[in-house]
Structure 1
């Protein structure tokens, strides 16, 4: 049936249809029926405060596009389009090449579709500041002190820094940027680090160390010190002013610790032996104005090696290719593994304990591998060259020993200046980790013709002078000095005052005013030594 619509009705119908369309458009646009506008695109990843150089390298901005098509998100930095990477419902952007200053990051989904003309797409904006300039730092090197037990003062200026640290000590610069830090001991090897609000850092090394005192020393074993006649002979040399330092054994070639050590492993293995009273010995010598350097035979240690081998810790012991203890003229089970952290830790614990007791210095002996073919030895856990591991042990020990108040040194073979791989003593690697290197340049230990000296044992002045030149050359610029071990015993040639004095004169001629005398019997030729 045909229905006719009047003109007026047609107008009313058109208006009704238009209204319905508008409502549909408003609802679809999110403006009708109580719906809120389209959500923003949250931006994450920005740190609090300025973005420094390190933070900028790792900076990743994350745009959360949940509820939207992440592929439709468009990014700009300072108004210029940049490319992001879609990761699930997020869009990631890693800034590159941003200059210092303020930057604006924008993420948005452009409007489009049938309703695009009625609203903007969702979006977000973040503003951040890039600051990669390292802070200014000026450090006044502290004056040298005589001992690591002496406090030092470090001063400087860091006007842009939020904090300045020297090792574990931190200080906040004043309004003018100046800072002062009182340290309990000389921080040799430490660095001053200034950090600004953006995390940028400037580092400057502290090159000032201690001013080592003169050391004219003799070697004394634990048993010799405990025996009154031998102890008194050494004390007489000190009273006469012929020596000013005693080298007293802490741990000897048998692995025996000569006093009642409280280091747990020394007690567990039976190494700790109350042969002498360490506190009483130190008190007596110090009251006489005599310094005491404690000697620790590090890796030749039959006591520890045998205990470890029989208690399931075989990797503490140097082994042969058949995984049995490396046997040599040192004994069946004699050498511990310098690469094992527990072996290292044991020796360092003894050194720190001794320094805290009052020993002025710690000298490591046998800080090396056994002599012999390297192919016949196995060091469990060793990574890299043996020379680096030995020097690494001394580096690990240095700061704890210094913090406990003692200087650190290493007794090394005379050949190590020119043949570093023969026993894993590379002086160029060792020297930066010690306060002085103590080469054992005994004339009797050199072969005929060494350094052009026809008979070194009979020419003590010549061989000592030649050897010291090499050690001074190889330690130059390392911060370590050279103090030699000299021979006061007879081996092939009778040694008396004249032969000992010749070695001392060669040492003085080299510009070195210190030395250590070695006598296995702890009997010394006082006539070779200048009295007070």
Structure 2
């Protein structure tokens, strides 16, 4: 029997079985070929079908697969994000480029983008403009858009086509309140505050005013020392004319000692109740520099020793208000012995020895050209206003005229020209008015009456044209007893009340360019009853109020015109 050899003896093809052949095949592979090694191992695990009988397995053979769950979740999230981004971007692009949504810009006054305007289409869609006056709304052309906004006339726009680029611009017409405020004589009132629905402005030349973007409603007109006035405005384009009347002051001067005496002050109140008097003029700081009542919230009078109370200001103001009286207080401005002594750096000095410059009566003066001298009288005015006075009146608001002017030394001599002196006085009063008006009080100034009748400033810095623009009222001291012989060709001007007072007031009226009231001081001394009444009647015939000056606050009922309201 022929034996089967396990060795290879012939040269032809040969089929070999067993482990020896497989081992030889394995050893022939490169051990560095990892892929080949893995294949080789798999082959070694596969049964040798040629050397074993065929066996049909009960179940098919399956390779086990390893599942990597983290990778699968990550892949799912990435796919979801990509799909969501594509869908969202598509929706956004469609929204922004939709053919039926139009970008609109509403413009208001002076081409300013108007925020808060309501845009409505004829189909009922609406949108409100935001910053930049922009809005988007569903709209197809041709069509109409209606726009409404506070302070503007509602308007409808017919749109035939849309711009190729940018927004569709719609210009609106603002509601404009235009008008003029006049007095009883038809003369424009300058400096009045006009208010409507929390919008306000100040009347300008000829009393004209304008408020843009106004809403229809009640127009309120106010000015210190004037009666308030109202008018209704419907929003139409016609000019609105408002008439207001000046508060006709008929006042008595109450000197400090009278104010401090209960019995004497009671007589003043009784006198006012039974006459046409409707105002009282008190003092806060007098010619000697004394501050004659307590001052709340301002310590300077006490610091320089000028605080010397004579009357109870709170009590007197309360009593005056109970009787319906308008209250004014007088403040002597730059003549001040106390301030010139204790605040000497702001005082005038003399060129002889450098000491404080004084009047013939030995009263020191503060330097008007030094703005450091302004704070004291203005702060007194603010404090007095806060305590309840209705009006602050500045006296001696001028350069000095009583004393040796030739030796007076000022900190700023460049202002010692007519124009410079007028500018200083005007700037002081403007500053005072701004601060005191803000507290709710009117501001007035006493001036020399001669200023009404001459064209220059008489070396004291007072000129009607400029002063009338800086205060609410001017009170010239029209005392014929102070005029010298020859004035108006009268040997004794004091004997001619109507002529002297009338000439001064009529000359001043035509020069009051700035809107202030002209309200004269009338002397209540050195005259007969008939002469006092004649002077008062002259002022009233010119529709002016008046103030009576008597050094001791002594007045007679016969001096006054009858009270026609009784």
Do they fold alike, i.e. is TM over 0.5? yes
2:376 to 334, 346, 356: 346
2:357 to 303, 326, 340: 326
CA distance in 1, matches of 2:175, 2:372: 39
Aligned twin of 2:16: none
Find out whether 1:461 has 2:498 as its counterpart: yes
Aligned twin of 2:284: 250
1:501 to 518, 533, 541: 533
Q: Secondary structure of 1:249's partner?
A: strand
CA 486–165 in structure 1, closer or farther in 2 if over 3 Å, else same: closer
- Residue 252 of structure 1 deviates from its aligned partner by 0.8
Aligned twin of 1:518: 549
Q: Secondary structure of 1:350's partner?
A: helix
- Residue 137 of structure 1 deviates from its aligned partner by 9.6
Q: Scaled by the length of structure 2, what TM-score is found?
A: 0.56
2:489 to 413, 428, 452: 452
CA distance in 1, matches of 2:318, 2:484: 42
CA 463–478 in structure 1, closer or farther in 2 if over 3 Å, else same: same
Aligned twin of 1:422: 459
Aligned twin of 2:331: 296
* Residues 176 and 214, structure 2, Cα contact 8 Å, conserved in 1: no
* Residues 151 and 183, structure 1, Cα contact 8 Å, conserved in 2: no
* Residues 488 and 525, structure 1, Cα contact 8 Å, conserved in 2: no
CA distance in 2, matches of 1:498, 1:144: 34
Aligned twin of 1:402: 437
Q: Which runs of 4+ in 1 moved over 6 A?
A: 142-145, 179-185, 207-210
* Residues 488 and 496, structure 1, Cα contact 8 Å, conserved in 2: no
Residue ranges of structure 1 left out of the alignment (5+ in a row): 1-134, 157-163, 168-173, 189-206
- Residue 451 of structure 1 deviates from its aligned partner by 2.6
- Residue 179 of structure 1 deviates from its aligned partner by 6.2
CA distance in 2, matches of 1:330, 1:139: 57
CA offset digits 1:113-144 (Å, max 9, x no partner): xxxxxxxxxxxxxxxxxxxxxx9994546979
CA distance in 2, matches of 1:371, 1:440: 15
CA offset digits 1:313-333 (Å, max 9, x no partner): 2xx1122233322222241x4
Higher RCO, 1 vs 2 (CA within 8 Å, ≥6 residues apart): 1
CA distance in 1, matches of 2:304, 2:425: 24
CA distance in 1, matches of 2:337, 2:175: 51
Q: Secondary structure of 2:350's partner?
A: coil
CA offset digits 1:38-89 (Å, max 9, x no partner): xxxxxxxxxxxxxxxxxxxxxxxxxxxxxxxxxxxxxxxxxxxxxxxxxxxx
Aligned twin of 1:275: 310
Summarize the alignment of residues 59-208 of structure 1 with structure 2, pairs less than 5 Å apart. Answer: 138-140=176-178, 153-154=195-196, 177-178=213-214, 186=222
Aligned twin of 1:364: 394
CA 421–183 in structure 1, closer or farther in 2 if over 3 Å, else same: farther
* Residues 193 and 201, structure 2, Cα contact 8 Å, conserved in 1: no
Find out whether 1:478 has 2:523 as its counterpart: no
- Residue 237 of structure 1 deviates from its aligned partner by 1.3
CA offset digits 1:200-235 (Å, max 9, x no partner): xxxxxxx99985311111111222200233212211
- Residue 416 of structure 1 deviates from its aligned partner by 1.6
* Residues 300 and 376, structure 2, Cα contact 8 Å, conserved in 1: yes
Find out whether 1:530 has 2:564 as its counterpart: no
- Residue 155 of structure 1 deviates from its aligned partner by 6.4
- Residue 166 of structure 1 deviates from its aligned partner by 5.8
CA offset digits 1:300-319 (Å, max 9, x no partner): 1112112223xxx2xx1122
Q: Scaled by the length of structure 1, what TM-score is found?
A: 0.60
Find out whether 1:438 has 2:475 as its counterpart: yes
Summarize the alignment of residues 36-75 of structure 1 with structure 2, pairs less than 5 Å apart. Answer: none
2:294 to 235, 240, 260: 260
Q: Secondary structure of 1:428's partner?
A: helix
Residue ranges of structure 2 left out of the alignment (5+ in a row): 1-172, 184-191, 203-210, 225-240
* Residues 468 and 514, structure 2, Cα contact 8 Å, conserved in 1: yes
Aligned residue-pair number: 351
CA 520–304 in structure 1, closer or farther in 2 if over 3 Å, else same: same
CA offset digits 1:311-357 (Å, max 9, x no partner): xx2xx1122233322222241x4211122223211111111111121
Let me know the Cα RMSD of the aligned residues.
Answer: 3.3
Aligned twin of 1:237: 271
* Residues 276 and 562, structure 2, Cα contact 8 Å, conserved in 1: yes
Q: Secondary structure of 2:252's partner?
A: strand
